[in-house]
Structure 1
Amino acid sequence: MSDRLRLGFLCAHDPYDRNSFSGTPSYMLDALQRCGSVELRVLGPWRPGLWGRILRKLRKRMGAKVGVPRASEMAGLDWVIIPVSSHLVAAHPEGAPGFVHVTDATPQFLRDFYNYDIPPESDKGEAAAIGHAAKVIYSSDFMARRAISEFGAQYAPRIHAVSFGLNLETLPPPPEPKPAPQPFLQLLFVGRDWQRKGGDVALAATEALNRRGIPTRLTVIGCDPGGLDGRADIEVIPFLDKNRPEDYARLTRAFAEAHFFILPTRADCTPMVVAEANAYGTPVLISDIGGISSLIEPGQNGEMLPPDADGNAYADRIAALIADPQAFEALCASSYAWCRDHLTWDAWANDIVKTLETS
């Protein structure tokens, strides 16, 4: 009889679609499948391959939703991993194996920091999920502590923190040293919400560096803030589809070519675009907010600035970091190493397994 951990994987989002929930469930599933110490069973209606894509399109047209599988479908499992699907955990059936609720935020956090209009029923649903789950795993220590504060210290023994991984197909090989910032310094901003992600601050930092005589260009991916057409110092790519090889290649090239990834975000949980940048040896400059401190080790893979830091503050930090070429090269190398050791989905899967095995 196998001594491997027998896991189920259940999600309301399509785990075979790289665009579904930013690809997070898909990368989780792949990492768990690579984990040699587990036997994995995908639950629910999801199927891989061409037939699976056809079925998913039909389900979408019909408006079908994912429900909790029958107990017979989960027979023999030790645990069921359920990412970002609180309602499925809350509907925990009698006699099922231990449900593991994996998420990155509480409803109240989303209201407070994102100004999302989330109905009060969501708090009840999240409380039910935490109450029904055998384990609750947040993506940051910050959010784990917040959940205990919001829902009660009695849940503390079942609440854990494991950082999410980077949403890339594979970890690239160690990068070559980045070229000197000549003829220009390349900054990269990736985000769908220009205002919330602090795109205006990234733009102000670019302009400040240019005024100081440090030729700088900013590439914006994921949104179109408007009003930037024709500027030689700005490139805007409104959308890239990771399911398309040419778009995926363009995204990874942008990470590799950047000297810094800049994200002066005003509200975030644990943005794994940090890990994507680090995977290409690109240090990150980002706001110290939410669970970001679980991703950034200052001096190793980037720097955190106060949430109210303006473009000049980011420009100051960038100018200081490139003033010493050897120190900048070392920061790029350690950014890759930090990602490899701490911020991959394989690291996430191994930490999940360890958490469950020690229970």
Structure 2
Amino acid sequence: MKLAFGHHRNFLHQGETRPGTFGLHTAAENIALSLEAETGSIEQLGPLRNLCSPIAAARIAGYQRICSRLYYGWAEPSLSRNYGRQMARKLKYSDVDVVLCNETKHAAYLHTDRKVALWTDTLYGGIFDYYQTFSNLCSRTRRAMEQMDRAAVENCDLLVFASDWASQNAIRLYGANPDKVKTIPYGANFTSGMTRNEAENLVESKRFDGPCRLLFAGVEWTRKGGDTAIRVVEKLRSSGISVEITFLGTDPGKHMDSIPEFVHCAGFLSLNKPDELEKMKQLYRNAHFLLQPCRAECFGHIFPEANSFALPAIASNTGGIPTAVHDGINGYCVNVEDVDAYANRISEHFQSPEKYRALSINAFDDYHNRLSWQKSVQTLIRTLEK
């Protein structure tokens, strides 16, 4: 089976730089590199030119000036259709069997005689009025996204999602054939690189006679539940447990009148800067738990990242998180705003070191068995070959 990767960037070309963004762009890079490593060679259909008709270009400029609701020019149907035409032209001179895309806009209008597969974290319809950036959309953008969703569901031979939540949304919202819908979790944007022996030594070295160290990671304070994390720490402290929390990626000072002494801020650290990446890894090594009381999340690369450090996650049960975090295996999921439940899960394990160590090693094993890009890509290839 010969594979092509359909994206407007070429992630294997030496001249292409990292996108510098998160989410699907970073996932696309990891998918492309992992497929290349696993198969020995994949064909990149990118780079693609970002083209639209003069009428669409004028419309984009006009909407951005006058629209009071959220308008996204990248969702204009003419852009997605043009991506499809560019890839279809390249496929005329290719002998690949399958084209894999990781964004709806690339898969929706790719008309070819090859098998087309989509592996993404959600269709747009699944996050309308769920993510703040997909709420209050203008009618044109919302219609265009729904149109892309429906076109992708109809056009793709295989629909693969990073979570059961997204898979069920495709079936519920757009009537996708359940036989062509599969769930394969995403992997991590960065990992510890530790062996199991190193993970065991790290877990054994953690102290339980001092403060319980929590790590919160995320740029979006409200969506990731930064305020809830603070309330969880306050609950733990009121019960007599010494605890502190470090915020990575966001500044709690922008959301609080004063910063309590148990709150630390690491700021935003870049994966592309070696010294900052090492600081980030040290935060993961030092923490006892990852605390992610998210209000909205399609999957969460943060969970396999944490698990690769033998760091268990205490998270909310919203969106795709329950696919990433399995209760009692690599952490626990609780109701989104249930401060007592987060605190109880943390205290019961911190106050029982053996119980904590077992959960931590299980989390490390779960990363290697289920949540690494290598494992996920291997599962994807087997699915595509059927």
TM-score class, shorter:
0.7 to 0.9
2:33 to 27, 30, 34: 30
CA 170–327 in structure 1, closer or farther in 2 if over 3 Å, else same: closer
What SS does the corresponding residue of 1:243 show, helix, strand or coil?
Answer: coil
- What residue is the counterpart of 1:91 in the other structure? 109
1:341 to 356, 365, 369: 369
- What residue is the counterpart of 1:59 in the other structure? none
- What residue is the counterpart of 1:130 in the other structure? 153
CA 219–257 in structure 1, closer or farther in 2 if over 3 Å, else same: same
User: Does residue 182 of structure 2 align to residue 160 of structure 1?
Assistant: yes
Number of residues of Structure 1 aligned to a counterpart in Structure 2? 333
CA 139–200 in structure 1, closer or farther in 2 if over 3 Å, else same: same
2:43 to 41, 44, 48: 41
User: Does residue 133 of structure 2 align to residue 104 of structure 1?
Assistant: no
Question: Given residue 47 of structure 2, which amino acid in structure 1 is its aligned partner?
Answer: P
- What residue is the counterpart of 1:82 in the other structure? 101
CA 271–7 in structure 1, closer or farther in 2 if over 3 Å, else same: same
Contact 1:13 1:21 in 2 (8 A): no
Scaled by the length of structure 1, the TM-score of the pair is: 0.86
Question: Given residue 40 of structure 1, which amino acid in structure 2 is its aligned partner?
Answer: I
Moved over 6 A (4+): 63-66
Superimposed CA distance per residue, residues 102-158 of structure 1 (whole angstroms, 9 cap, x where no aligned partner) = 2111222211322423422101111111211121111112211111111115x2222
- What residue is the counterpart of 1:245 in the other structure? 274
Question: Given residue 131 of structure 2, which amino acid in structure 1 is its aligned partner?
Answer: Y
Question: Given residue 293 of structure 1, which amino acid in structure 2 is its aligned partner?
Answer: P
Q: How much does 1:11 deviate?
A: 1.6
Moved more, 169-178 or 337-346: 169-178
What SS does the corresponding residue of 1:195 show, helix, strand or coil?
Answer: helix
Contact 2:191 2:308 in 1 (8 A): no
User: Does residue 31 of structure 2 align to residue 12 of structure 1?
Assistant: no
- What residue is the counterpart of 2:230 in the other structure? 203
Contact 2:192 2:308 in 1 (8 A): no
Q: How much does 1:313 deviate?
A: 2.8
Superimposed CA distance per residue, residues 8-40 of structure 1 (whole angstroms, 9 cap, x where no aligned partner) = 11223563516333421111112111114x631
Q: How much does 1:89 deviate?
A: 1.2
2:378 to 339, 345, 350: 350
Aligned-partner Cα distance in 2 for 1:169–1:25: 17
Aligned-partner Cα distance in 1 for 2:261–2:105: 48
- What residue is the counterpart of 2:314 in the other structure? 285
Question: Given residue 256 of structure 1, which amino acid in structure 2 is its aligned partner?
Answer: R
Contact 1:101 1:130 in 2 (8 A): no
Gaps of 5+ in 1: 47-62
Superimposed CA distance per residue, residues 68-91 of structure 1 (whole angstroms, 9 cap, x where no aligned partner) = 32244661101111112x122122
CA 21–281 in structure 1, closer or farther in 2 if over 3 Å, else same: same
Aligned-pair identity (%): 24
Moved more, 68-77 or 142-151: 68-77
Aligned-partner Cα distance in 2 for 1:355–1:43: 21
In angstroms, what is the RMSD of aligned CA positions? 2.2
Question: Given residue 8 of structure 2, which amino acid in structure 1 is its aligned partner?
Answer: A
CA 165–228 in structure 1, closer or farther in 2 if over 3 Å, else same: farther
Moved more, 262-271 or 71-80: 71-80
Superimposed CA distance per residue, residues 299-321 of structure 1 (whole angstroms, 9 cap, x where no aligned partner) = 111011112312x3322221111
1:320 to 341, 348, 356: 348
2:130 to 89, 100, 113: 113
Scaled by the length of structure 2, the TM-score of the pair is: 0.80
